[in-house]
Amino acid sequence: MEPINLLVCLDGNYLPRLRVLLVSLQLNNPGESFHLYLMHRSLTQEQLDGLARQCAACGCTLFPLQVDGTLFAGAPVTKRYPQEMYYRMLAPHLLPAKLDRVIYLDPDTLVINPLRPLWETDLQGNLFAAAAHSGKTDLINSVNRIRLKTRHDYYNSGVLLIDLAAGRSRIDPQALFAYAAEHVSELWLPDQDLLNALFGEQILPLEDVIWNYDARDYQGYLLASGGQYDNDWVVRHTVVLHFCGRSKPWKKNYPYRFGLLYKHYEKLTDQLLARLDRGENRP
């Protein structure tokens, strides 16, 4: 089978989260191989070397890409609008031209079931596949449609299947930057708002309960499904658990379900890294 191409974008602060994600990916995708493209601005060689060792133990090949800021000369870039927010939408122009598609994952996710069905999804001519968080965004869809002048649901940008080949001709970086500059005061969640405003009509909808499960909303999913989407169902069917929002399971007093599951993978990651430090190159 061909390797699955993955994309993550982060700085050093989120490197420990990527390490946990990689362990979940390896344990729940036996027999798979992955090519992990890591876009960054300032990771050190020591950090990259350590990550490469873990990737080798987790069935991944690491391809670090230090992004040249030249492309962003005309982009609105501030503390609230960091350069990194554009990376996933401009992946067709930043990743190697030989790649036709990639799965983007936020580093605050766990992969708890096989990812290949998403990789093999027919995009049906769309640039992206993404999920709207049904339990959260149903309440504010009308607000977002008015605010962004859209007709579709509000898609979460934390898990994306991206058609890189089509995006090279259909995504214009300068048009993206111009829109961001013109609407700077209207963008609440800048990267996500840009995705929805500019490309929402070119997104294939995915089931969030499978591909981008909002870990804050267990009760919402449970009630909406008439009790079907309980713990057992999630563990057996959900592929990507997404720990959205400000509360994070690696911080104290995380209030939502599945925090303990994250802690479990965090412990497994610590054990793997300890073995690698001892020179034991095995998962």
Instruction: Give pLDDT tens digits for 228-240.
Output: 999 999 999 999 9
Encode pLDDT of 47-88 as tens digits.
999 999 999 999 999 999 999 888 888 788 777 668 888 999
Question: 34-38, 71-75, 103-107, 247-251 — which is least confidently predicted?
Answer: 71-75
CA gap 240, 117 in Å, rounded: 12
pLDDT at 254 over 70: yes
The structure's pTM equals 0.93
Give the model's pLDDT for residue 183.
Answer: 75
Encode pLDDT of 133-165 as tens digits.
866 545 555 555 545 555 667 899 999 999 999
Give the model's pLDDT for residue 47.
Answer: 97
pLDDT at 120 over 90: yes
Give the model's pLDDT for residue 275.
Answer: 93
Quick count: other Cβ atoms within 10 Å of Cβ 33? 12
In this structure, what token pair is assigned to residue 63?
A: 């391809």
Give the model's pLDDT for residue 187.
Answer: 64
pLDDT at 43 over 60: yes
Three-state SS string over the chain comes to: CCCEEEEEECCHHHHHHHHHHHHHHHHCCCCCCEEEEEEECCCCHHHHHHHHHHHHHCCEEEEEEECCHHHHCCCCCCCCCCHHHHCCCCHHHHCCCCCCEEEEECCCEEECCCCHHHHCCCCCCCCEEEEECHHHHCCCHHHHHHHHCCCCCCEEEEEEEEEHHHHHHHCCHHHHHHHHHHCHHHCCCHHHHHHHHHHHHHEEEECHHHHCEECCCHHHHHHHCCCCCCHHHHHHHCCEEECCCCCCCCCCCCCCCCHHHHHHHHHHHHHHHHHHHCCCCCC
8 A C-beta contact, residue 221 and residue 229? yes
Percent of the chain's residues with pLDDT above 70: 90
- For residue 188, name the pLDDT band (cuts at 50, 70, 90): low
8 A C-beta contact, residue 53 and residue 276? yes
pLDDT, averaged across the chain: 90
Give the model's pLDDT for residue 142.
Answer: 53
Give the model's pLDDT for residue 118.
Answer: 98
Give the model's pLDDT for residue 54.
Answer: 97
- For residue 25, name the pLDDT band (cuts at 50, 70, 90): very high
